């Protein structure tokens, strides 16, 4: 079960959605023990309340994997990663918007991008007591209340995105003309990219590519009968070949393989168990 909540007004410039995921049983058949987690362009803060820590793999053939931990910051990514889903889990988390990294964690987003970071390394030992509070709350609604209050207390009273970055984020869909937006900002190309990466974690061009990929996934989810050719053209790709290359880069599978799996969540794609 997934419970989602839009944030309080004070959090809306920095928080996209808060969520609780309760899996009392394994979500997929036993032959699926891993999943591809697809890039969203956002950062993620997650408290895993079950015994199993986050475990990731270098790829499908990696039999060992790497154990990360129970409280994790997932930086903005430009491609998928492979996660263990072999056991039930329960998590409380939040999807963070550009600009949140510096305010919540005290570091630029590009220092956290493309990897997982233990929250303890950013917030210290207080993380353990926060996880205990969330675990003891039990009720998903109360868990979201606790997380929401925690985030609100950590944000400064007045501070926001750099105006040039905020303007770019407003303009980057439907347009993806980075050069035009950089020119309008009044900054040099190098200065603007540095500002943008510190706030978002990705370069403007890469962020726009992930954004376009996300729009294609949303279209595919709402119109399962649409051809990939139509989806590619409608979401700004030059042709189906261009679309297929980028899809495989971001998702690790072809568009047709993705559709055959029919994931219940557009950004979580289960993959078959590999022989031991």
DSSP per-residue letters across 116-165: EEETHHHHTTHHHHHHHHHHHH-SHHHHHHHHHHHHHHHS-SS----HHH
What is the fold of 2-154? Answer: Jelly Rolls (2.60.120)
DSSP state at residue 193: H
- Residue (of 3, 50, 47, 44) closest to 26 by Cα position: 50
DSSP SS3 for 52: coil
Q: Which residue has the tokens 């989806």?
A: 231
Tokens representing 238 are 């030059």
Segment (H or E) for 33: strand 32-37
pLDDT at 190: 92
Q: What is the rounded radius of gyration, in angstroms, for the C-alpha atoms of the chain?
A: 19
pLDDT at 170: 86
pTM over 0.85? The answer is yes
Sorted by where each begins, the domain ranges of the chain are 2-154
**pLDDT tens per residue across span 82-98:** 999 988 889 999 999 99
pLDDT at 275: 53
Contact 55, 66 (CB under 8 A): yes
**pLDDT tens per residue across span 109-163:** 999 999 999 999 999 999 999 999 999 997 999 999 999 999 988 877 546 788 8
């Amino acid at each position: 079960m997934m419970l989602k909540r839009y944030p309080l007004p004070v959090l809306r410039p920095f928080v996209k959605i808060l969520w609780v995921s309760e899996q009392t049983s394994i979500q997929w058949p036993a032959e699926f023990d891993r999943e591809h987690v697809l890039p969203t362009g956002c950062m993620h803060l997650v408290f895993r309340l079950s015994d199993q820590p986050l475990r990731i793999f270098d790829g499908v053939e990696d039999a060992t994997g790497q154990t990360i931990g129970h409280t994790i910051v997932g930086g903005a990514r430009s491609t998928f990663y492979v996660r263990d889903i072999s056991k039930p889990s329960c998590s409380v988390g939040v999807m963070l918007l550009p600009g949140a990294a510096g305010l919540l964690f005290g570091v630029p987003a590009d220092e956290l991008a493309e990897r997982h970071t233990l929250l303890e390394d950013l917030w210290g030992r207080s993380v353990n007591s926060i996880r205990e509070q969330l675990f003891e709350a039990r009720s998903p609604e109360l868990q979201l209340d606790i997380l929401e209050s925690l985030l609100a207390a950590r944000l400064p009273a007045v501070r926001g995105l750099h105006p040039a970055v905020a303007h770019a984020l407003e303009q980057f869909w439907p347009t993806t003309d980075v050069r035009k937006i950089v020119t309008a900002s009044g900054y040099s190309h190098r200065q603007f990219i540095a500002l943008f990466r510190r706030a978002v974690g990705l370069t403007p061009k890469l962020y726009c590519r992930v954004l376009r990929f996300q729009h294609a996934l949303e279209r595919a989810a709402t119109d399962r009968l649409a051809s990939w050719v139509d989806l590619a053209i409608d979401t700004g790709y030059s042709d189906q070949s261009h679309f297929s290359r980028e899809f495989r880069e971001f998702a690790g599978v072809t568009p047709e393989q993705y559709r055959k799996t029919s994931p219940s969540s557009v950004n979580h794609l289960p993959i078959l168990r590999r022989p031991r």
